[in-house]
């Protein structure tokens, strides 16, 4: 197993706020409660994370309805146990691979804290309240030839219905089986999928069961905010927030201006008409009007900025594991935490991985390809490999001749300008054409080298399709399922072992 640590600043789409959070925390310190680079921060966050025992008991009782009895729930019931929380939308077939990476990061941090004397359990918040069905009803896979496949499910939901409660009408299980056919461990993967995606299940139930089976042994507790008993527990906090919504909105507007003044942008744009609440009514999640007061506070549903506050009202959260966007949300939500809870967990970036097989690793090693080389598309990657397939002496000759011709033409231009400026100007145009023809011949030579090595051409397509599929980071597009079908379930243990092990950044990992 080989690994390379890649700074997030080398990955496409890294925001300035996230980069500063990781590498220049002093610039963003006022937007967060805890410094992630201070080893004592997690202890301070844990000491502040307590919740009233009566609330803890009600939450644990509700969680037993979802999880059944477990050692982790027995631990969470104890007064001084803290939670390490993460979460994700309930995407088809476990969603993008980073969903599992989040869960493993939470599980590992909980284990490390417990070993250090702070009893902790990992909790996975199922984002079942979300009502963006288009985001969760598809999944991306790949087959043994590294061809990407988009699989799509249908559901019997109505517009605005929380996605976790939507029954699955058709799940593309047979299409998944065909896509994975030929991988050594495909049957084992399909056994889990068949077990989770049974007829009549909702998207939330199927997602939870699949993740639960994939990560069995890591002690995860699953929390579904649609559980009525949990909504009853959260109702007083949401009611208090509703009564202060004007004040909270103004605080968020001011925070947005602070972020903008510091050179960042807000994840959620907030103005005076922004509602922090939805209401669950008739099986739908509807936006609450600015002055509307529902008769039942348990029907309230928080927006993206208020949701983490509800989460940490219910749980004794010491740390929240999130990706770049979620950590940016917390920079805004901090003002809500201050007003409503008086505490805030430490924000911990999840581990991130790009997984290579031996073929991809060999290709990158042989042709000195970096991860960033793969972010410019398959054609660009092929050009890079092609240029490196030219015999070294021939490549050097091209460089020498180009340099000599450029130098000679510049000398000739100077003399012509002195003799006749018109002739000098004409040579400028000719020079560009001559250099263009030299470059054109160099490219032809590169393409010929590539043509002579069809195996490398196919390898470049394999590498591009694996590392940057559909022009997305691998972990943000592909489900983990095809990787498990290719490498086996020991991959879960390998990922767990490599969570933040000597690399706080993104890990390029050969498995």
Could you please report the per-residue DSSP string of 129-147? T---HHHHSEEEEE-TT--
Q: Specify the pLDDT at position 9.
A: 96
Angle between helices 228-243 and 245-261 (to 10 degrees): 80
The CA distance from 163 to 99, in Å, is 17
Residue pointed to by tokens 């009202």:
313
- Give the list of residues 6+ apart from residue 423 with CB closer than 8 angstroms, or none: 416
Q: What is the pLDDT of residue 390?
A: 67
DSSP letter string, 169-220: EE--HHHHHHHHTTSTTHHHHHHHHHHHS-TT-BHHHHHHHHHHHHTTTS--
What's the confidence (pLDDT) of residue 474? 98
What does DSSP say about strands 277-281 and 284-287: parallel, antiparallel, or unpaired? antiparallel
What is the pLDDT, as a whole number, of residue 448? 77
3-state secondary structure of 319: strand
CA distance 183 to 186: 5
Report yes or no: 339 and 244 within 8 Å, Cβ to Cβ. Answer: yes
**Cα separation, 285 vs 228, whole angstroms:** 15
Return the percent helix, strand and coil in the chain, to nearest 5: 55, 15, 30
Q: Where are the domains of the chain?
A: 2-54+66-230+312-322+345-350, 357-478
Question: Model confidence over 378-427: pLDDT tens digits?
Answer: 888 888 887 777 676 777 888 888 888 788 877 887 878 888 788 778 87
pLDDT at 231: 96
CA distance 147 to 144: 7
Cα 267 to Cα 260, 305, 327, distances in angstroms: 11, 9, 10
Q: Give residue 453's pLDDT.
A: 67
Contact 89, 164 (CB under 8 A): no
The 10 Å Cβ neighbour count of residue 246 is 11
Report d(CA 175, CA 149) in Å as an integer: 9
| Dist. CA 112–CA 118, nearest whole Å | 9
pTM of the model: 0.89
pLDDT digits (tens), the chain, 511 positions: 689 999 999 999 999 999 999 999 999 999 999 999 999 999 999 999 999 999 999 999 999 999 999 999 999 999 999 999 999 999 999 999 999 999 999 999 999 999 999 999 999 999 999 989 999 999 999 999 999 999 999 999 999 999 999 999 999 999 999 999 999 999 999 999 999 999 999 999 999 999 999 999 999 999 999 999 999 999 999 999 999 999 999 999 999 999 999 999 999 999 999 999 999 999 999 999 888 999 899 999 999 999 999 999 999 999 999 999 999 999 999 999 999 999 999 999 999 999 999 999 999 998 889 999 999 888 888 888 877 776 767 778 888 888 887 888 778 878 788 887 887 788 778 888 888 888 898 888 877 777 766 667 788 889 999 999 999 999 999 999 999 999 999 999 999 999 988 788 999 999 9
DSSP per-residue codes, 233-253: HHHHHHHHHHHTHHHHHHHHH
């Amino acid at each position: 197993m080989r690994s390379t640590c890649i700074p997030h600043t080398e990955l496409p789409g890294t925001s300035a706020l996230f980069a500063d959070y990781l590498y220049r925390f002093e610039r963003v310190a006022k937007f967060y409660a805890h410094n992630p680079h201070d080893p004592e921060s997690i202890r301070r966050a844990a000491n502040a994370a307590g919740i009233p025992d009566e609330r803890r008991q009600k939450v644990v009782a509700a969680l037993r309805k979802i999880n059944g009895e477990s050692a982790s729930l027995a631990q969470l019931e104890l007064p001084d146990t803290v939670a390490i929380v993460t979460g994700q939308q309930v995407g088809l077939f476990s969603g993008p691979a980073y969903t599992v990476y989040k869960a493993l990061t939470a599980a590992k941090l909980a284990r490390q804290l417990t070993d250090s004397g702070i009893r902790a359990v990992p909790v996975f918040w199922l984002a079942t309240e979300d009502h963006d069905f288009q985001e969760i009803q598809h999944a991306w896979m790949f087959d043994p030839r590294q061809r990407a496949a988009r699989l799509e499910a249908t559901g019997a939901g109505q517009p605005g219905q929380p996605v976790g409660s939507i029954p699955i009408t058709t799940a593309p299980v047979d299409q998944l089986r065909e896509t994975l056919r030929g991988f050594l461990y495909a049957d084992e993967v399909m056994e889990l999928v068949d077990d989770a995606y049974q007829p009549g299940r909702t998207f939330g139930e199927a997602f939870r069961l699949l993740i639960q089976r994939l990560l069995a042994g890591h002690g995860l507790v699953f929390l579904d905010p649609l559980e009525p008993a949990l909504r009853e527990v959260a109702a007083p906090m949401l009611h208090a927030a509703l009564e202060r919504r004007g004040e909270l909105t103004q605080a968020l507007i001011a925070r947005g201006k602070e972020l903008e003044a510091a050179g960042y942008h807000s994840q959620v744009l907030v103005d005076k008409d922004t509602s922090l609440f939805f209401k669950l009514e008739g099986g739908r999640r509807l936006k609450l009007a600015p002055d509307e007061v529902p008769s039942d506070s348990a029907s309230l549903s928080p927006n993206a900025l208020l949701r983490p506050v509800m989460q940490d009202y219910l749980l004794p959260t010491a740390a929240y594991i999130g990706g770049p966007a979620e950590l940016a949300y917390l920079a805004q939500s901090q003002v809500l935490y201050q007003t409503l809870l008086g505490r805030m967990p430490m924000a911990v970036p999840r581990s991130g991985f790009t997984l290579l097989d031996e073929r991809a690793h060999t290709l990158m090693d042989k042709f000195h390809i970096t991860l960033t080389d793969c972010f410019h598309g398959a054609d660009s990657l092929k050009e890079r490999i092609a240029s490196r397939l030219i015999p070294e002496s021939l490549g050097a000759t091209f460089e020498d001749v180009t340099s000599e011709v450029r130098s000679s033409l510049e000398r000739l231009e100077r003399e012509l300008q002195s003799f006749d400026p018109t002739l000098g100007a004409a040579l400028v145009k000719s020079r560009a054409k001559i250099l263009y023809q030299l470059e054109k011949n160099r490219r032809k030579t590169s393409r010929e080298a590539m043509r002579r090595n069809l195996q490398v051409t196919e390898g470049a397509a394999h590498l591009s399709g694996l590392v940057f599929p559909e022009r997305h980071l691998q972990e943000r597009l592909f489900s983990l399922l095809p990787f498990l079908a290719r490498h086996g379930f020991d991959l879960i243990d390998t990922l767990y072992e490599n969570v933040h092990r000597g690399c706080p950044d993104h890990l390029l990992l050969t498995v």
